Structure 1
Amino acid sequence: MFNTRIRVPPTAKPGEIVEIRTMIMHPMDNGFSYTTQGTLIPQNIITEFSCHYLGEEVILVRLEPGISANPYFTFPLRAEATGTVRFRWMDQHGDITTAEEEMVVE
C-alpha cells in the first residue's frame, strides 16, 4: 500500500463543478533503468486509476510505463448529492491502494 494524497472539497452546492486532486507516492520504475551497481531495476508501475462517486465510475485512467513517478491527477466533478468519493489505484501485480473522502452537498 502506497501513501496517497487526495483533495475533495468538504462541501459543495448541488450542481456545482468541483476540482478533485489526487496523487500517489510511487516510484514508477519503467524496467529500463539500472542501479549504480549496474543491476536492472525491475518494472514497477501503477497501471490503472479510477474514481467513483455515488456508486458510478466518473474517471478511469490506464497508465503506461512512460508515466512519471508519483502520478498526479486533477479533474472536475459535478456535485450531485452528499456521498463518498472513492479512489483506486492498481499496480501491475494487481495490488490495490484505495482512499476515500466524504463530500457534503447542501
Structure 2
Amino acid sequence: MSDIKIRAKLEGDETTVKCLMSHPMENGMRKDSKTEQVIPAHFIQEVVCKVKGTVVMKSAWSGGVSKNPYLSFKFRGGAVGDEIEIAWTDNKGESQSQTAQIS
C-alpha cells in the first residue's frame, strides 16, 4: 500500500532531504461518489527523520495534508554516506519506514 522515496544531498554544510510518501490521506469528511458513504479518516499523524539514530526532524500532521504527500527539509550535521531514515505513523496505527544514504 505505502512506499517512501527519499533523496538526500549534502550541499556545503546543509543536507537537503526530499521524500515522497504514498498514502491515501483521507480526512474523514469526503463521501464516496458511488455509495454516498463517508470515507473514514486515514492520514499520517507523525513523520520522523533520523540520521545515525539521532532525530533531525519530527512533524505532526493531520487530515489536511493531500494524498501522497511530498516533504522537503534541510538540516545541518549530515555527511556523505550517512544513513537517513524517514518513518511515519498514521491514525490507524499503521507505519512505514525507509532508509537511504546521503549523497
Is TM-score (shorter-chain normalized) higher than 0.5?
A: yes
Partner of residue 3, structure 1: 3
Distance 1:87 1:64 in 2: 18
Give the superposed CA RMSD.
1.8
In structure 2, distance between residues paired with 1:20 and 1:47: 19
How far off is 1:59 after superposition? 0.5
Aligned position for 1:78: 76
- Identity over aligned residues, as a percent? 27
User: 1-side partners of 2:19 and 2:102: how far apart?
Assistant: 15
In structure 1, the gaps of 5 or more residues are none
Residues in 1 aligned to 2:70 and 2:59: alpha-carbon distance in whole angstroms: 11
**Using the alignment, how far apart are the partners of 2:13 and 2:53 within structure 1?**
19
**Equivalent residue for 2:13?**
16
One-letter code aligned to 1:55: G
Deviation at 1:99, TM superposition (A): 0.5
SS in 1 for 2:20: strand
Letter of the structure 2 residue corresponding to residue 86 of structure 1: E
- For residue 102 of structure 2, give the secondary structure of its aligned residue in structure 1: strand
Residue matched to 1:33: 30
The gaps in structure 2 that reach 5 residues or longer are none
TM-score after normalising by structure 1 = 0.84
SS in 1 for 2:50: strand
Alignment partner of 2:83: what SS? Answer: strand
1:92, distance to aligned residue in structure 2 (A): 0.8
TM-superposition CA deviations, 1:39-94 (whole Å, max 9, x none): 11111101110100122100001001111111211111224444210110111122
1:18-55 deviations in whole A, cap 9, x for unaligned? Answer: 21101111111111111112111111101110100122
